[in-house]
Chains A and B, each alone.
Chain A
C-alpha cells in the first residue's frame, strides 16, 4: 500500500520559488509516474505535471516555463519547484501516484498526499 508524505514551505512572498518534496513509502518506485496537482478556489483542480524514475517528465504547458520536477530514486522521493510565484499560485498542492498505461486505456491518479497549503503574500 503506497503512501505519500509531502512537505515544503507554505508561506511565500511574490517572486519567490515554491519548493515541495514528496516521499514514497510502500511501493515500487520505479514502476509508476509521480506527479503534482494543485487546487485553488479560482481555478479548481489543475494538473501541474509528472515524472518517472528515469526523469522523463510531462508538464502542463501553461506552467512549463516556471516548473521543474525532479526525482531522487535513491530516496524514493520526487520534488516540485515553481519559480516566480504570484498570488495566482496560492492553493493546496498535492503529490500523487500516477498509473499510466496508454495501451491498456488507463491513466489516473490513485494515491494522493495530504496536501500542502501554499499562500503567497508580501
Chain B
C-alpha cells in the first residue's frame, strides 16, 4: 500500500497566520491527492481534490499544490473555524490510504 506521511503531526498557530501542511507519498501518485478537514465529533469534510482543485463552497484561503510524491496544503490566513485536523488521502492505487493527520491548534 502507498504510505502517506504528513508533517507536522501538530502545530500551533494564531488567527491570521499562514499555515502550511505537507504530505508525502511513498511512491508517485500523480495528482490523485485529496485534503480533508475534520473537527471533533464530525465527519471529515472535503477541501481540495486532485491536488489543487478547491471543492465547491470551500474558502479560497485554502490552496493545494504538488504532484508525484510531494504535496502541500496552505491556509493563507488562519481563521477561528480552521482549527481542526487535516488529512491527506491518495486515491491513485487500488487501495485508498490516508495520512495520519495534522492537528492545527490555537497558539
A contact residues vs B (CB 8 Å cutoff):
44-47, 58, 60-62, 94, 99-100, 105-110, 112-115
How far apart are the CA atoms of A116 and B26 in the complex, in Å?
A: 31
With A105-B32, A106-B53 known to touch, is A112 a contact of B95 (CB < 8 Å)? no
With A105-B32, A108-B34 known to touch, is A60 a contact of B46 (CB < 8 Å)? no
Q: Quick check: A44 and B98 within 8 Å, CB to CB? A: yes
Q: Which residues of A contact B30 (CB under 8 A)?
A: 105
Residue from A46, A62, A113 in contact with B43 in the complex, judged by beta carbons closer than 8 Å: A113
Q: Which residues of A contact B96 (CB under 8 A)?
A: 47, 60
Chain B interfacial residues counted at CB < 8 A: 23
Q: Which residues of A contact B100 (CB under 8 A)?
A: 44
Nearest-CB residue, chain A, relative to B41: A115
Q: Quick check: A106 and B50 within 8 Å, CB to CB? A: yes
Q: Which residues of A contact B32 (CB under 8 A)?
A: 105-107
With A58-B94, A105-B50, A108-B50 known to touch, is A114 a contact of B55 (CB < 8 Å)? no
Q: Quick check: B95 and A108 within 8 Å, CB to CB? A: no
Does B18 have its Cβ within 8 Å of any Cβ on chain A?
no
Q: Which residues of A contact B43 (CB under 8 A)?
A: 94, 112-115
